[in-house]
Amino acid sequence: MEKAVVAALMVVAAVAALLPAAMAGVVDFCVADLAAAPTPAGYPCKKEAALTVDDFVFSGLSKAANTTNIIKAAVTPAFDAQFPAVNGLGISLARLDLAPGGVIPLHVHPNGNEVLVVTQGAIAAGFVSSSNAVYYKTLHKGDVMVFPQGLLHFQINAGGRSAVALVSFSSPNPGLQITSIALFGSSFPSSLVSGTTFLSPAEVKRLKAVLGGTN
């Protein structure tokens, strides 16, 4: 390639690399105004004059959540709806509490990548890729695992005691869709659930009774 062409491409690449930073620099931050309707780009901003340091601090992840439920586990989100400061910043986080036998069932975050760090206990975690390769491992305190955006994944307690993990996302609103709830805890007609999953009508009926589905 001509030297001049290479130089021009390098300039274009350098400018392109600066663009996101320049756009982020239009405003320092955009603490969500939760009273306003969210848009695809997030919430409108609260007026800076109305903000204090507490708008940038969230204490909701400090305590274990109640895990007395069917999954023996709890997800405590610090997404934009709970922690308005992450609005517009492309980040958020959550805490996972898993009692012995607890599970975060197979689920998807449609809008963000996830990274998980185990802070207590042992957790078997994994995901299934688009080509149906299955990546799973038992993680211990301090271990970190990545779950790429949009892929089915799970976390399940792998020890005899409570386990805790902190997860962070590359989105202020990663979304959370749990497969078994979508199928058996919704109004998805049982005949269509059976027809689209190859599960017998009796098994669909049993799971709907367990998870509260209708139709």
Ligand X SMILES: *[C@@H]1O[C@H](CO)[C@@H](O)[C@H](O)[C@H]1NC(C)=O
Closest CA to 87 of 162, 158, 3, 29: 29
Closest CA to 88 of 28, 168, 166, 150: 28
In three-state secondary structure terms, 4 is helix
Residue 140 assigned ligand-binding role: no
Please say which residue, 74 or 108, places its beta carbon nearer to ligand X.
Answer: 74
Task: Give CA 48 to chain center in angstroms.
Answer: 28
What would the x/- binding string for ligand X be over residues 41 to 70, using CB under 6 A?
Answer: -------------------------x-x--
What would the x/- binding string for ligand X be over residues 152 to 181, using CB under 6 A?
Answer: ------------------------------
Strand order in the sheet with 153-157: 134-140, 122-128, 153-157, 103-108, 177-178
Distance of closest approach, residue 67 Cβ to ligand X, in angstroms: 8
Size of the site for ligand X (CB under 6 A): 2
Please say which residue, 181 or 199, places its beta carbon nearer to ligand X.
Answer: 181
| Token digits of residue 1 | 């390639």
List the binding residues for Mn(2+): 107, 109, 114, 153
List the binding residues: 107, 109, 114, 153
| Residues at the interface with ligand X (CB under 6 A) | 66, 68
